[in-house]
Amino acid sequence: MHRTRAVAVATMALLTILGRGAGEPSQQSAQPTRAASQSFHVDAQSPLQVHASKALASGSLAKWERSWYAKIVAGTVTPKRVTVWQTQYGMWDRGRYKGDLWHLACNPCNLKPGTVVWLPSTGRLHVVTNRGASSNDRAARGHGGSYWVDVYTSYEGQYGWSTQTGSMYVIGRAPWKH
């Protein structure tokens, strides 16, 4: 908060200086500036909110994606950011798993089927549709994650990584009938 206030005060001071005409004398010593005493609140959007706004503007979303992104932008859901260990699975994997790019596997002790999440590393919404072994969570903790998620991909390394520790936003839970 203090850093945000300092940045806002410095920005106002710079704008004041740039707004004066060339050669115009400074009135700073004659009149105290109010900018230093005012409190500025800069409400920066989270990466998820920025992404959701851009995704909605693109118009190329499935109905369920549009609905969740609209909730994010409207502020009707409160996403929770967690650190997870991310791996990938798909048809290329030895299990020859079938799925779609929005599928995500996770131990149901952590995320129940139907849970909607956003991964900055993939730049898309995912829904938990599959489960995994609890041993994956032990491995995740060894890699600095709270727990493990497995992202469905068309090919290994699709997003420029095959395993990594990174952020994930848990958004909400959709009705799930599987």
User: Does the pLDDT value for residue 44 go beyond 70?
Assistant: no
46 confidence band (pLDDT: 50, 70, 90)? confident
Residue scoring higher pLDDT (34 or 121)? 121
* 95-132 residue pLDDT tens: 767 889 999 999 998 999 999 999 999 999 999 998 88
User: Does the pLDDT value for residue 37 go beyond 60?
Assistant: no
Share of the chain above pLDDT 70, in %: 74
Report the alpha-carbon distance of residue 168 to residue 48 in Å, rounded: 10
91 confidence band (pLDDT: 50, 70, 90)? confident
What does the pLDDT read at residue 59? 84
Residue 84 CB-density burial (10 A; 0-12 exposed, 13-18 middle, 19+ buried): buried
Structure tokens at 89: 């699975």
Residue scoring higher pLDDT (176 or 99)? 99
Q: Is 93 helix (H, G, I), strand (E, B) or coil?
A: coil
Share of the chain above pLDDT 90, in %: 56
Residues in the chain: 178
The distance of Cα 43 from the centroid of its chain, to the nearest Å, equals: 16
DSSP state of 146: S
Phi then psi dihedrals of residue 135, to 5 deg: -60, -25
- Parse the chain into domains and list their residue ranges: 1-44, 47-173
Q: Which of 16-25, 69-78, 87-96 has the lowest mean pLDDT?
A: 16-25
Q: Is 107 helix (H, G, I), strand (E, B) or coil?
A: coil
Average pLDDT, the chain: 78
Outline where 20-152 has alpha helix (H): 47-58, 63-74, 134-142
CB-based contact 145:83 (threshold 8 Å): yes
Q: If you average pLDDT over residues 71-82, what whole number do you get?
A: 94
Fold type of domain 47-173 = Barwin-like endoglucanases (2.40.40)
